[in-house]
Chains A and B, each alone.
Chain A
Amino acid sequence: MKDREKSPVENLKAFLRGFFGAFKHSSTEYLEFELRELENVFALILMGEFVGIPSPPTTLVIRLLPHMTRELYVMQRRVVDMDDILGELAGMFEIT
């Protein structure tokens, strides 16, 4: 078999790649969650006027808006599944 012909070092490398690959995946899960939260907060700060949070200079808000597609989208999604935020956290920490 081809694999058997490989040196033990190669095998170890392949094993580690797989090991860290799985690791990587779960590590970005947290990062992505954090990123989404940050994007949500960023949009919320700018649009907070509507829910009574003091807002930054209006000029700045209006100037930033055109570039904020992604953040606003994230914010809206967040609002939609606001009631399930515990669920999401539980899923992430594998609490079942």
Chain B
Amino acid sequence: MREFFVPKKGYRVVFFIGKGGVGKTTSSAAAAIALAEGGYKTLIVSLDPAHNLGDVLMEKLSDKPKKITENLYAAELDMEKLIKAYLKHLEESMKHTYRYLTVINLEKYFEVLSFSPGIEEYATLEAIREILTRGDEWDVIVFDTPPTGLTLRVLALPKISLIWTDKLIEIRRAILDKRAAIANIHGEQEFVVEGKEFKLPTREEEDAVMKELKTYREEVAFVESVLTDPEKTSVVAVMNPEMLPLYETERAYESLRKFKIPFNMIVMNKVLELRNDVPELKARLEAQRKVLMEVERRFKGLEIVKIPVFPEEPRGVERLKELGGIIVGR
């Protein structure tokens, strides 16, 4: 078994990324089945809003892990439900202190924020974080992801969030320092809104904003630490022997390297192999050969696995087993 599929520190997270339609779901399901066969308690989660993990496994799935075979559990995240739940959760925490905030007509702000671009990515990240915090329940967690663009943005989020949070913490610290300096000279400062008096917090421990910033930082740093740990996370790219998936894989490779997320292997799916010469397919075979050579040249040192075109679509646990065996290396 390839070592980047084996859990080393508690659990192993495997992301299957790639262009739309190259066979991510099939490959990830196959790998998950093979890992479960190998005796690891495996969870496969589909993050793709266009769900077809259930179709591949021929099971009806929901957002709760469902037992498929011995050691194998599968779930499909319902993005819409997730975003709603996510906003609901945020709204609850807002309501908590809501009454002071009627001053600025907060409802409007909130409404706009709930339609803010990128909310889907954040909800996805939140879902990943939740699964990772309970990661110890599993040996291997396999993520079947949406097409590359969205996935890369989700994987980049922790790093970006950390940069923002650190900047905000810095400004907040400056604010608290200034407040403390003023309080030192004039005594405790108060602030009145609509007849209600607040004491202005001057120390980091009593400032709710600082506390929230720090909690958020911790949460994001946890996800970031898991994602960038080669002992915990591996990324497998799935592609077809064509030029466009090659370009996309290369871009993914570059950006993952920028964010220090380990990239381990390429599954070359749907490779045509003919026993007899078919003149009609000659050009296609030639193009495929070129791409295969390019891949070997550009991704030196990466494991590349070739999967032939199957006469029939591999669906269902039994058929996927063999394919999974090739991917995880048995």
* Interface residues, chain A, with chain B CB atoms under 8 Å away: 24, 27-28, 31-32, 34-35, 38-39, 41-42, 45-47, 49-50, 56-73, 76
Contact = CB atoms under 8 A, between A and B. Distances in A.
Which interface class (under 10, 10 to 19, 20 to 34, 35 or more) fits B? 35 or more
Contacts of B171: 38, 41-42, 45
Interface of B: 90, 93-94, 96-98, 100-101, 103-104, 106, 109-110, 112-113, 116, 118-119, 122, 126, 157, 160-161, 164-165, 168, 171-172, 174-175, 178-179, 181-182, 185-186, 191, 193, 198, 200, 207-209, 212-213, 216
B182 A65 contact: no
Contacts of B191: 69-70, 73
A39 B171 CA distance: 9
B193 to A, nearest CB: 6
A25 to B, nearest CB: 8
A60 B179 contact: no
Given A35-B178, A42-B175, A69-B100, A56 B93 contact: no
Contacts of B209: 64, 67-68, 71
Contact of B94 (A27, A34, A59, A62): A62
B94 A42 contact: no
B93 A57 contact: no
A60 B214 CA distance: 11
A86 B193 CA distance: 27
